[in-house]
Amino acid sequence: MQLVQSNGEPRGPSEVVSRYLEAIYFMWSEKEPLRSARLADWLGVSRPTVAVGLRRMTRDGLVRMNGRKEIELTDAGMRAAESIVRRHRIMERWLTDTLGLDWVTADAEAARLEHAVSDAVERRLYEVLGHPATCPHGNPIPGYSEPAAHEVRLSSLAEGDRASVTRVSEVAEREAPLLLAYLHQRDLTPGREVAVLESDQVGKTLRVRVAGRDVTLSHETASKVWAVRDGA
């Protein structure tokens, strides 16, 4: 039997399970190997704690382990994860576009608010905001939009390449808020045009021109920014 809230809407997963689903969805969308050790690092909890949580989620039909011992979302798990991520990204848009909060603050506040917002409020916010396609960092809103075609990581671009920034990795958002602020301050934001001036494979750095200035990034940092090459 499906549990319902007092307003008649289906009751969603608990806040703890929601955090697991959200993290798994983010890593899946970034094409990261979905292993329990990595999930523990992401969530900042012990590996035994993650093992217990995954067993419960497997029992509830939200996740399964594949033949490579990697975590996979079931159809039900994917629907639940998309609902959580959709709410979070809509909340971020409201916090930045309407309340004027910065990227980092909006992400943290949305993580707190997403569990308290009903489906009705979510839908109304989406309408009032003008049906946004992405969160402030360019990540698509599940159910309303898809990732841009032909996306590549900025770190994969070669000297002479030109590209348009599409989004900042959700992994960077959650694990490195200082990096999120760093990228914002240097105008490495969705819609910005970048030109690769130098790709140093020995020093593992990438020098790009963006918004009229040169910016040097480590390959690790550049891998957290997605873009579409001109002509792709």
For 95-108, what is each residue's pLDDT tens digit? Answer: 999 999 988 889 88
Q: Is 159:196 a contact under the CB 8 Å cutoff?
A: yes
CA angle 134, 13, 139 (to 5 degrees): 10
Residue partners of 138: CB distance under 8 A and separation at least 6: 165, 166, 167, 168, 189, 190, 191, 226
Indicate if the pLDDT at residue 203 is higher than 90.
Answer: no
Indicate if the pLDDT at residue 5 is higher than 50.
Answer: no
Q: Is 167:173 a contact under the CB 8 Å cutoff?
A: no
Q: Tell me which residue has tokens 């969308």.
A: 29
CA angle 209, 197, 226 (to 5 degrees): 65
User: Which residues pair with residue 152 across a beta bridge?
Assistant: 227
Indicate if the pLDDT at residue 176 is higher than 70.
Answer: no
pLDDT band at 227 (very low <50, low <70, confident <90, very high): very high
Q: Is 95:106 a contact under the CB 8 Å cutoff?
A: yes
Give the three-state DSSP class for 162. Answer: strand
Residue spans per domain, the chain: 1-140, 152-229
Mention the CATH class of domain 152-229. mainly beta
pLDDT band at 165 (very low <50, low <70, confident <90, very high): very high
For domain 1-140, the question of CATH label 3.40.605.10 is answered with no
124: which 2 tokens?
Answer: 């109304």
109: which 2 tokens?
Answer: 């506040």
Helix ranges restricted to H, 94-189 = 103-113, 119-128, 170-175, 177-185
Neighbours of 82 (CB within 10 A): 16
Indicate if the pLDDT at residue 211 is higher than 50.
Answer: yes
Q: What is the pTM of this model?
A: 0.84
